[in-house]
């Protein structure tokens, strides 16, 4: 039944997309296996199949977001392997990636999001506003224009994503699972919206991936996929006819390869024996508020022992929150919940032993093998050690895990992982299971397998099962269900009764009817954001389509560049930790370094073992204790005491004055004073040594002058030391002007690197891949806000240096400012360069810290000048921008230098900055690898 | 039962760490390679200091002085004109410029005490300080030796016998190696526990634990003991094998006492790691917070530069940081061979701070799961 060739109705001429022998792999995983496909033009195409079969990979290749590995992809009449063609067609393609709001910016408002995309496509202000108004009104988002995208419900996020995709009138609209996790009403509205858009733009082709088989019937033409291959193509009617199946779910299973199909058996539900009337779960007015947002609003239900109770609703409607309240993970703001007649209480460990919980995402230890996971959980539930092996074997047998016991969960397919989760939840033989969307993302066969286990647990072991789902066909298998929406339970009853009560043909229609009722009853501002459930209004007349010549964009557009700058600034403003680091990070670090890296020695504790006890010995001690460098502690009585006090760290220096000191000096006999100092910290010890020698010499000259007069003191020659630029030799004066360049390197580089890597990690980088943005627009656009911030930092640091640290500024401020500007452009450029190699934000933070701090501290003349370095260090020092900015900073702070004296340091910065940006532009990829 | 749960959970943490190659590499690197390079790469205080000499005398004595400056302490001197001197120092090319005046040799021999001018770029603190001393004594000994042939000299009557204790050779590598170990203990304690908690939260496994009959106290204690054990074992290995064995640094005190103190320090810092993880919403935010917390802990604790040269308020604030006490204790034991009778106040402070941190972490931990 497998058809690898395109459907006969499609000729190459009217194909919008043609794939020839396309294969794609991520590392060792094959995502696409030799796919050949021709997709007809001007139609709606459904790409069907469960998660992980290669749908998203195929779509991102078609959109040009991912680089082609092998085979050919032709889109809109050109080869997507050619960069020129991609550039030419990307304004005609719109791509909405998988995941709710994946390419949106959660902290930006609805309007700001659409506006950003409008700017990317070069609309002027008037046109942009007209289009935004039209789109927001036709999607019903207009009342929420000011709301941050992150605070929208799933359905609204998807509509916003659609607005962003449609702003430039694409000829090809690619939607990757746009309705997964969205409630049925929003789903239906979404498809109506697509239909009305297609009616207005008949030439537009729409390609949609979906995991909901019910939806697949809406499309003109289907592509069924499994295991990276195309199973079949054709209209829905053709598919049903050829497989002889009643619905597309069954048709899809019939299309699967024989060895997979064999494992499948239809799910049958034996009737439930009559309940003996004791309640397993009772919820009474459960309410959960987060701030002023009510996530769960007075939810009540009762579940008898042994029942399978389903919770049906969209993402974010409060299902998970309700389950967390039942398990005691969250404490209800209001209302009561009882399990087996006991009130739920976070401290009650006994009830927890009777409950098994499986959370939404796979949440077992990926670093432990299947066997280790089972044993660990058995132990944590305090099963007697002797019973554990038997119980683990029983679970392995029942959940069909025996073959994978020594594997790591991450190596297993999703279906088996979900079985493992269930096995872990069952390890302690609980009387109740709470399962949060156990089947999302699992293929139909594995889903049915899981359901057969659930049914046997309920019917044979009388386990109460509380399960949430957003699949209608699963809801129909439950004994009773609750329809949940926006934190409220709309109705609870058996699936048949619910369908009957609305005189609907299917459960889905009944659900939609309840949702519509709820929406009309709800006040205008419902706590959970939902689009008013009125039918989609007729869209106001659309603005004129973009004239063809407007699509030939200039290679470099300031409008697009500004669009990125504006968005980056808005996002930064709304992220507290990054904004604090950007503004205050350098100030905090300046204080730390200014005070911490000090070579000064002051108030060094010392004590004297005075065995002479004469006026002269006391005079000598006076000389030391009178200086600001040393502070005298109680005198030492013996050598033993000296040892003890130095060992404890109380004394850093001890002086021994021998008996007969005064007498011997008077007689001109050679005398030796003993000085011990703490050498543990060598650089401090060296300084101490210098001080004591200097003071000793001074004392000697003084004494000699007293005894013999001036003539005796004249030596062979004098050395006159002039400490230039910092006459008092203070650490702060020396350090602060050198610390500013280090801070202006590390933090701006780190923030800039993060800004790009964040987009890679969160997925919004796809907007750069699939829009006409050029590399330079993207890079410079993102760099500008950080350059501005760094200059603000520079100003703060300079003011701080002069006021708080009291470092005099003597040179040209203008030269310093120009140097700083060139330097921060280099620093942010370096951050961008690092970001092109980094994949995760954590790597970017630590990588940038190491790559900037090491050369800046070691090789840029902070402590030792470049002229005293050799080899690689000297080479790095000569090309690293910090070297030159340290010269400028010290020159303008301490050496009173002007522009004319500094051009030798400014010139290299003028070269380094553009070179770095050029390097980034050539290293940045315009497609995902 | 409770003890057993903590044991099993801790073993799970250790297994998790064992399967995380990045963290293992970090631990290994921090306690071997990083310690070794910190010890060997620490520059001696004066190394190739750039010096320029203006020789206006051009006599045998001035030539003799010029010849006395050579690597490794100084670069071979550059001979310059008096006019060049300022520009070169402004550009930062030279740290020292020595000006030998005309007729220097004649004046020395005539007993007229001529003056040599030494210009020092005092924005380069460390070179300026030590280099100045070296230059003075080099020039003095050259001049004295030269003059001895012509006149007799009187020796000073009072001598100083200077002896550095605990590190007689003022060997930078001794200091570097031990400071690195102290810093890395703190760094790894925070990083290992913090990332372990964030990873568990991101994967949802913490929630999973909390629906089981397990308390937050047990989860936290398991993390603290397992991660502290790893760091403790690694630092013991590093002290014995890398520092004592490879680098031949003598350790004066008891390693056992040091490790006991380190265990208390780890109690406090692993708790701090948990606090930071609960404050940060995600791994990247944790990384940024880490930068802002770790640097002050390491730089202001007195490990790198002495506490007494910091402003009073910094010293007071830093008393709340476990590092300050740990550094004092570690330096006393490892450098000066101090025993329990000396370091007990620090140990007590660590117990106190650790308990406070742990209690705070526990409160935050419960809160952050809501």
Q: Does residue B154 lie in a domain region?
A: no
B164 or A794, which is more confident?
Answer: A794
CB contact under 8 A, B116 and A727: no
Q: Do A868 and B47 touch (CB under 8 A)?
A: yes
Asked whether residue B162 is assigned to any structural domain, the reply reads no
- Tell me, yes or no, whether B345 and B292 share the same domain: yes
Do residue B291 and residue A731 have CB atoms under 8 angstroms apart? no
| A318 and A210 belong to one structural domain | no
Residue B106 and residue B128 in one domain = yes
Residue A283 covered by a domain? yes
Q: What CATH number has the domain bearing residue B80? A: 3.40.1710.10
What is the reported pLDDT for A539? 46
pLDDT mean across residues, chain A: 83
For residues A739 and A836, state if they share a domain.
Answer: yes
Show residues of chain B in contact with A901, CB under 8 Å.
87, 90-91
The pLDDT value recorded for residue A788 is: 94
Question: Residues 6 or more apart from B314 whose CB is under 8 A from it?
Answer: A595, A596, B300
Q: What is the pLDDT of residue B41?
A: 66
B207, A690: Cβ pair inside 8 Å? no
Q: Residues B325-330: what's their mean pLDDT?
A: 91
List pLDDT tens digits, range A565-585: 999 999 888 887 778 878 888
Contact B342 A725 (CB under 8 A): no
**Is B306 in the A-facing interface, judged by CB distances under 8 Å?**
yes
What is the domain extent for residue B88? Answer: 51-148
A886 CB neighbours in chain B (<8 A) are 92
* Percent of chain A residues topping a pLDDT of 70: 92
Per-residue pLDDT at A8:
39
Q: Which of A686, A713, A740 is the last residue of a domain?
A: A713
What is the CATH number for A81? 3.40.50.300
Secondary structure class of A921 (helix, strand, coil): helix
The pLDDT of residue A175 is 92
Mutate to test the interface with A, among B92, B175, B347 (most CBs of A within 10 A): B92
Spatial strand order of the sheet with A15-26 comes to: A29-40, A15-26, A70-75, A78-79
- Enumerate residues 119 to 138 of chain B having a beta carbon within 8 A of any beta carbon in chain A: 119-130, 132-133, 135-136
Kindly report which listed range (A347-351, B155-159, B341-345) carries the lowest average pLDDT score. B155-159
pLDDT at B270 over 90: yes
Look at residue B158 and tell me if it is in a domain. no
Q: Please, which pLDDT band fits residue A553 given cuts at 50, 70 and 90?
A: low
State the distance between the two ends of chain B, measured CA to CA, in whole angstroms.
26
What string of H, E and C letters represents the secondary structure of A230-251? EEEEECHHHHHHHHCCCCHHHH
**Angle, CA B99 vertex, CA B96 and CA B105 arms, to 5°:** 135
Residue B150 three-state SS: coil
Reported as a single tens digit per residue, the pLDDT across A305-326 is 888 999 887 777 788 888 888 8
- With a cut of 50, say whether residue B27 has pLDDT above it: yes
Q: Is residue B161 part of a domain?
A: no
Q: Which of A216, A614, A842 is nearest to B198 (CA)?
A: A842
Percent of chain A scoring above 90 in pLDDT:
19
Distance CA A690, CA A688 (A): 5
**Interchain contact, B167 vs A368, CB within 8 Å:** no
Q: Residue B306: its pLDDT value, please?
A: 78
Does pLDDT of B304 surpass 80? Answer: no
Note whether residue A41 is domain-resident: yes
- A609-648 tens-digit pLDDT: 999 888 888 888 888 888 888 889 999 999 899 888 888 8
**Token pair in block for residue A384:** 């007697």
C-alpha A635/C-alpha A617 separation (Å) is 13
A530 pLDDT tier (thresholds 50, 70, 90)? very low
Residues A212, A55 contacting (CB under 8 angstroms) = no
> Is A564 part of any domain?
no
The pTM of the full predicted model, rounded to 2 decimals, is: 0.80
- Reported as a pLDDT band with limits 50, 70 and 90, residue A715 is low
Tell me whether B108 touches chain A (CB under 8 Å).
Answer: yes
Q: What is the pLDDT of residue B43?
A: 60
Size of interface A-B (CB pairs under 8 A): 365
Residues of A in contact with B292 (CB under 8 A): 581, 585, 588-589
Q: Are residues A857 and A796 in the same domain?
A: yes
Residue A323 in domain: yes
pLDDT interval class at A554 (50, 70, 90): low
Same domain for A34 and A86, yes or no, is yes
If asked whether residues B108 and B247 sit together in one domain, one would say: no
Q: How many structural domains is chain B composed of?
A: 2
pLDDT tens per residue, range A106-136: 889 999 999 998 888 877 888 888 889 988 8
CA–CA distance, B235 with B73 (Å, rounded to integer): 34
Examine residue A84 and state whether it is found in any structural domain, yes or no.
Answer: yes
The structure tokens listed for A601 are 């020695």
Query: In angstroms, rounded to a whole number, what is the distance separating the alpha carbons of residues B175 and A570?
Result: 47
- Inform me whether the C-beta atom of residue B299 falls under 8 Å from chain A C-beta atoms: yes
Q: What is the pLDDT of residue A4?
A: 42
Same-domain check for residues B270 and B223: yes
Q: Is residue B157 part of a domain?
A: no
Task: Determine, yes or no, domain membership for B209.
Answer: yes
Using the Cβ of B148 and the Cβ atoms of chain A, whether some distance falls under 8 Å is answered with: no
Nearest to B125 among A690, A731, A865 (CB): A731
Report whether pLDDT(B224) > 60: yes
CB atoms within 10 A of CB B75: 22
Q: Are B180 and B329 within one domain? A: yes
Test mutation, A290, A372, A432, A868, chain B, max B CBs within 10 A: A868
B344 touches chain A (CB under 8 A): no
pLDDT, residue A45, reads: 92
Residue B159 within any structural domain of the chain: no
The SS3 call for residue B303 is coil
For residue A15, list its beta bridge partners.
A40
Test A869 with B308 for CB contact under 8 angstroms. no
pLDDT, residue A823, reads 96
Q: Which residue did the predictor score with more confidence, A752 or B301?
A: A752
Whether A112 maps to a domain, the answer reads no
- Whether residues A799 and A852 fall in one domain: yes
Q: Model ipTM?
A: 0.79
pLDDT score at B350? 94
Residue tagged 């003022």 (tokens): B170
| Tokens describing residue A420 | 């493992």
Residue in chain B lying closest to A347 (CA): B215
Asked if the model's pLDDT at residue A779 lies above 90, the reply is: yes
Q: Given a cut of 80, is residue A214 above it in pLDDT?
A: no
Residues A888-915: what's their mean pLDDT? 91
Nearest-CA distance B305 → chain A (Å): 6
Share of chain B above pLDDT 90, in %: 29
Domain identity same for B37 and B63: no
Q: Looking at the 3D structure of chain A, how many domains does it have? A: 5
Who among A682, A724, A895 is closest to B175 (CB)? A682
Q: Where do we find the tokens 């560049």?
A: A561
Q: What is the pLDDT of residue B154?
A: 53
Mean pLDDT of B148-153: 63
pLDDT of residue A274: 65
pLDDT digits (tens, 9 = 90+) for A2-53: 444 444 344 456 788 999 999 998 877 788 988 999 998 888 999 988 777 8
Torsion of the alpha carbons at A202, A205, A211 and A212, rounded to the nearest 10: 10
Of B88, B114, B148, at which residue does a domain stop? B148
A94-111 burial by CB neighbour count: b if 16+ within 10 A, else e? bbbbbbbbebbbbbbbbb
Verify that B32 and B77 share a domain, yes or no: no
Instruction: Say which residue, B47 or A108, is predicted with more confidence.
Output: A108
- Nearest alpha carbon to residue B270 among B214, B324, B211, B350: B350
pLDDT at A522 (0 to 100): 54
Between chains, do B284 and A841 touch, taking CB under 8 Å as contact?
yes
User: What's the mean pLDDT in B285-289?
Assistant: 83
Question: SS3 for A763?
Answer: coil
Question: Does the pLDDT at position A904 exceed 80?
Answer: yes
User: B230 and B353: one domain?
Assistant: yes
Looking at residue A537, its pLDDT comes to 46
Binding-face residues of B in 267-286 toward A, CB within 8 A: 280, 283-286
Query: Which residues of B fall within a CB distance of 8 Å from A679?
Result: 164-170
pLDDT 10s digits, A384-438: 889 999 999 988 888 888 888 898 888 787 778 888 888 898 888 888 899 988 8
Residues of B in contact with A672 (CB under 8 A): 158-161
| Same domain for B310 and B360 | yes
The answer to whether residue A912 is domain-embedded is: yes
Is B86 among the domain residues?
yes
Which residue's entry shows tokens 């109460």?
Answer: A464
A536 within a domain of the structure (yes/no)? no
Residue B79, min C-alpha distance to chain A (Å):
15
Asked whether residue B148 carries a pLDDT value surpassing 80, the answer given is no
Question: Among the listed ranges A425-434, B52-61, B169-178, which one has the minimum average pLDDT value?
Answer: B169-178
Q: Are residues A674 and A780 in the same domain?
A: no
Say whether both B19 and B111 belong to one domain: no
C-alpha separations of A229 from A235, A251, B322 in Å:
18, 17, 59
Which among A365, A595, A672 has CB closest to B311? A595
The lowest-confidence range among A554-558, A871-875, B250-254 is: A554-558
Judge whether B343 and B333 are in contact, CB under 8 Å.
yes
Q: How confident is the model at residue A521 (pLDDT cuts 50, 70, 90)?
A: low
B174 in the same domain as B55: no
B68 and A CB contact within 8 Å: no
Residue A195 has pLDDT above 80, yes or no: yes
Phi, psi of B87 (to 5 degrees): -60, -40
pLDDT in tens, B179-222: 888 888 998 999 889 988 888 887 778 878 888 888 888 989 99
Q: Is the same domain home to A30 and A88?
A: yes
Same domain, A685 and A782: no
> Which of A227-236, A668-677, A700-709, B218-227 is least confident?
A700-709
Is the domain of B116 the same as that of B243?
Answer: no
User: Last residue of some domain: A257, A283, A314?
Assistant: A257
Whether residue A867 and residue B208 make contact (CB cut-off 8 A), yes or no, is no
Q: Are residues A835 and A901 in the same domain?
A: yes
Tell me what pLDDT residue A13 has: 62
Ordered DSSP codes for A546-595: PPGGGGS--SS-HHHHHHHHHHHHHHHHT-HHHHHIIIIIHHHHHHHHHH
CATH number at residue A709: 3.40.1710.10
Residues 164-223 of B with CB under 8 A from A: 164-172, 174-175, 203-205, 207-215
Give me the phi and psi of A44, to 5 degrees please. Answer: -100, 125
Phi, psi of A874 (to 5 degrees): -65, -35
- The pLDDT assigned to A719 comes to 81
Nearest CA in chain A to B207: A329
Residue A711: both structure tokens together: 């003539």
Domain that holds residue A83: 12-98+172-257
Query: CA-CA distance, A807 to B120, in Å (whole number)?
Result: 19
Please state, in angstroms and rounded to a whole number, the distance separating the CA atoms of residues A50 and A441: 7
Give residue B177's pLDDT: 85
């Amino acid at each position: 039944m497998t058809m690898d060739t395109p459907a006969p109705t499609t000729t190459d001429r009217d194909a919008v997309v043609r794939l020839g022998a396309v294969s794609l792999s991520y590392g060792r995983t094959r995502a696409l296996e030799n796919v050949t496909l021709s997709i007809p033009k001007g139609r709606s195409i459904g790409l069907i199949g469960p998660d992980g079969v290669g749908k998203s990979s195929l779509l991102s290749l078609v959109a040009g977001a991912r680089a082609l590995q092998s085979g050919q992809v032709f889109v809109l009449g050109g080869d997507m392997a050619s960069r020129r063609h991609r550039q030419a067609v990307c304004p005609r393609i719109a791509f909405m990636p998988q995941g709710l709001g994946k390419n949106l910016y959660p902290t930006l408002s609805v309007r700001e999001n659409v506006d950003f995309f409008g700017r990317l496509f070069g609309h002027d202000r008037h046109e942009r506003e007209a289009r935004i108004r039209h789109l927001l009104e036709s999607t019903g988002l207009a009342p929420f224009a000011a709301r941050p995208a992150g605070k929208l419900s799933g359905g609204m996020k998807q509509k916003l994503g659609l607005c962003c995709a449609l702003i430039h009138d694409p000829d090809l609209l690619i939607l990757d699972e746009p309705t997964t996790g969205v409630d049925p009403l929003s789903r239906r509205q979404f498809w109506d919206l697509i239909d009305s858009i297609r009616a207005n733009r008949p030439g537009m082709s729409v390609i949609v991936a979906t995991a909901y088989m019910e939806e697949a019937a809406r499309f003109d033409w289907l592509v069924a996929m499994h295991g990276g291959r195309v199973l079949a193509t054709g209209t829905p009617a053709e598919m049903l006819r050829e497989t002889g199946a009643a619905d597309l779910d069954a048709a899809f299973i019939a299309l699967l390869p024989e060895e997979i199909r064999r494992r499948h058996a239809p799910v049958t539900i034996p009737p439930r024996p009559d309940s003996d009337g004791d309640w397993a779960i009772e919820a009474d007015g459960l309410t959960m508020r987060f701030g002023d947002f009510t996530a769960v609003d007075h939810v009540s239900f009762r579940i008898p022992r042994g029942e399978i109770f389903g919770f049906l609703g969209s993402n974010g409607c409060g299902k998970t929150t309700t389950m967390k309240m039942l398990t005691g993970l969250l404490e209800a703001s209001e209302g009561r919940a009882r399990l087996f007649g006991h009130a739920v209480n976070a401290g009650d460990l006994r009830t927890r032993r009777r409950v098994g919980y499986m959370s939404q995402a796979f949440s077992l230890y990926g670093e432990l093998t299947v066997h280790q996971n089972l044993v660990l959980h058995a132990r944590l539930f305090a099963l007697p050690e002797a019973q554990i092996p038997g119980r683990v074997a029983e679970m392995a047998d029942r959940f069909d895990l025996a073959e994978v016991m020594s594997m790591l969960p991450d190596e297993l397919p999703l279906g088996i992982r979900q079985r493992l989760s269930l096995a872990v939840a069952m390890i302690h033989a609980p009387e109740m299971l709470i399962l949060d969307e156990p089947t999302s993302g699992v293929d139909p066969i594995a889903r049915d397998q899981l359901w057969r286990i659930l049914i046997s647990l309920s019917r044979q072991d009388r386990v109460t099962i509380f399960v949430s789902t957003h699949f209608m066909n699963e809801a129909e298998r439950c004994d009773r269900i609750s329809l949940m929406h926006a934190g409220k339970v709309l109705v609870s009853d058996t699936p048949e009764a619910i369908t009957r009560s609305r005189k609907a043909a299917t459960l889905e229609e009944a659900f939609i009817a309840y949702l519509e009722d709820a929406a009309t009853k709800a006040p205008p501002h419902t706590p959970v954001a939902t689009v008013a459930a009125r039918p989609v209004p007729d869209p106001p007349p659309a603005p004129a389509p973009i004239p063809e010549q407007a699509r030939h964009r200039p290679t470099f557009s300031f409008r697009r560049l500004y669009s990125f700058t504006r968005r980056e600034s808005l996002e930064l403003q709304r992220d507290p930790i990054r904004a604090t680091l950007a503004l205050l990070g350098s100030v905090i670090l300046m204080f730390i370094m200014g005070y911490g890296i000090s070579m000064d020695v002051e108030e060094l504790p010392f004590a004297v073992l005075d065995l002479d006890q004469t006026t002269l010995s006391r005079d000598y001690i006076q000389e030391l204790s009178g200086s600001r460098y040393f502070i005298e502690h109680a005198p030492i009585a013996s050598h033993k005491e000296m040892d003890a006090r130095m060992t404890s760290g109380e004394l850093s220096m001890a002086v021994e004055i021998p008996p007969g000191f005064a007498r011997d000096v008077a007689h001109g006999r050679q005398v030796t004073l003993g000085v011990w100092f703490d050498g543990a910290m060598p650089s401090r010890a060296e300084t101490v040594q210098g001080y004591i020698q200097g003071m000793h010499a001074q004392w000697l000259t003084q004494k000699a002058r007293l005894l013999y007069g001036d003539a005796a003191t004249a030596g062979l020659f004098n050395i006159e030391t002039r400490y230039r630029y910092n006459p008092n030799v203070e650490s702060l004066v020396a350090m602060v002007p050198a610390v500013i360049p280090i801070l202006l390197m590390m933090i701006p580089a780190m923030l800039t690197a993060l800004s790009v890597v964040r987009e890679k990690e969160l997925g919004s980088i796809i907007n750069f891949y699939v829009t006409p943005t050029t590399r330079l627009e993207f890079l410079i656009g993102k760099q500008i806000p950080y350059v501005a911030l760094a200059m603000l930092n520079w100003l703060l640091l300079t003011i701080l240096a002069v006021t708080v640290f009291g470092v005099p500024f003597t040179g040209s401020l203008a030269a310093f400012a120009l140097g700083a500007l060139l330097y921060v452009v280099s620093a942010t450029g370096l951050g961008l360069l690092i970001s092109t190699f980094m994949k995760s934000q954590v790597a970017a933070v630590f990588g940038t810290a190491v790559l900037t701090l090491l050369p800046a501290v070691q090789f840029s003349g902070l402590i030792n000048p470049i002229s005293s370095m050799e080899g690689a260090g000297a080479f790095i020092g000569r090309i690293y921008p910090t070297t030159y900015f340290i010269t400028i900073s010290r020159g303008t702070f301490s050496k009173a230098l002007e522009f004319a004296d500094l051009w030798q340091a400014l010139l290299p910065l003028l070269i380094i900055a553009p070179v770095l940006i050029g390097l980034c532009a050539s290293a940045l990829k315009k497609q995902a690898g | 039962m409770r003890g057993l749960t903590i044991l099993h959970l801790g073993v799970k943490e250790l297994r998790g760490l064992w399967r995380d190659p990045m963290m293992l590499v970090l631990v290994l690197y921090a306690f071997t390679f990083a310690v070794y390079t910190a010890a060997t790469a620490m520059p001696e205080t004066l190394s190739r200091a750039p010096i320029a000499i203006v020789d206006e005398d051009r006599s045998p004595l001035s030539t003799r002085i010029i010849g006395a400056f050579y690597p490794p302490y100084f670069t071979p001197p550059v001979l310059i004109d008096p006019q060049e001197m300022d520009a070169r120092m402004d550009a930062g090319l030279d740290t020292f410029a020595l000006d030998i005046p005309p007729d220097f040799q004649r004046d020395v021999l005539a007993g007229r005490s001529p003056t040599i001018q030494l210009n020092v770029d005092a924005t380069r603190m460390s070179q300026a300080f030590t280099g100045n001393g070296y230059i003075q004594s080099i020039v003095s000994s050259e001049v004295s030796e030269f003059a001895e042939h012509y006149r007799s000299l009187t020796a000073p009557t009072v001598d100083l016998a200077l002896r550095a204790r605990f590190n007689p050779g003022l060997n930078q590598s001794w200091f570097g190696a031990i400071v690195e170990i102290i810093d890395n203990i703190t760094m790894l304690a925070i990083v290992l526990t913090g990332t372990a908690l964030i990873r568990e939260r991101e994967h949802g496994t913490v929630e999973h634990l909390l629906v089981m009959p397990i308390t937050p106290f047990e989860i936290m204690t398991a993390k603290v003991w397992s991660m502290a054990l790893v760091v403790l074992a690694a630092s013991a290995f590093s002290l014995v094998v890398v520092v004592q064995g490879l680098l031949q640094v003598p350790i004066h005190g008891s390693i056992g006492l040091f490790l006991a103190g380190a265990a208390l320090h780890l109690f406090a810092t692993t708790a701090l790691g948990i606090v930071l993880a609960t404050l940060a919403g995600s791994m990247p935010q944790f990384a940024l917070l880490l930068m802002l917390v770790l640097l002050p802990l390491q730089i202001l604790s007195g490990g790198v530069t002495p506490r007494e040269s910091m402003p009073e308020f910094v010293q007071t604030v830093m008393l709340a940081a476990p590092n300050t006490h740990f550094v004092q204790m570690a330096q006393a034991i490892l450098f000066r061979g101090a025993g329990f009778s000396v370091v007990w106040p620090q140990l007590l402070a660590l117990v106190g701070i650790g308990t406070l941190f742990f209690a705070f972490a526990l409160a935050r931990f419960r809160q952050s799961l809501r």
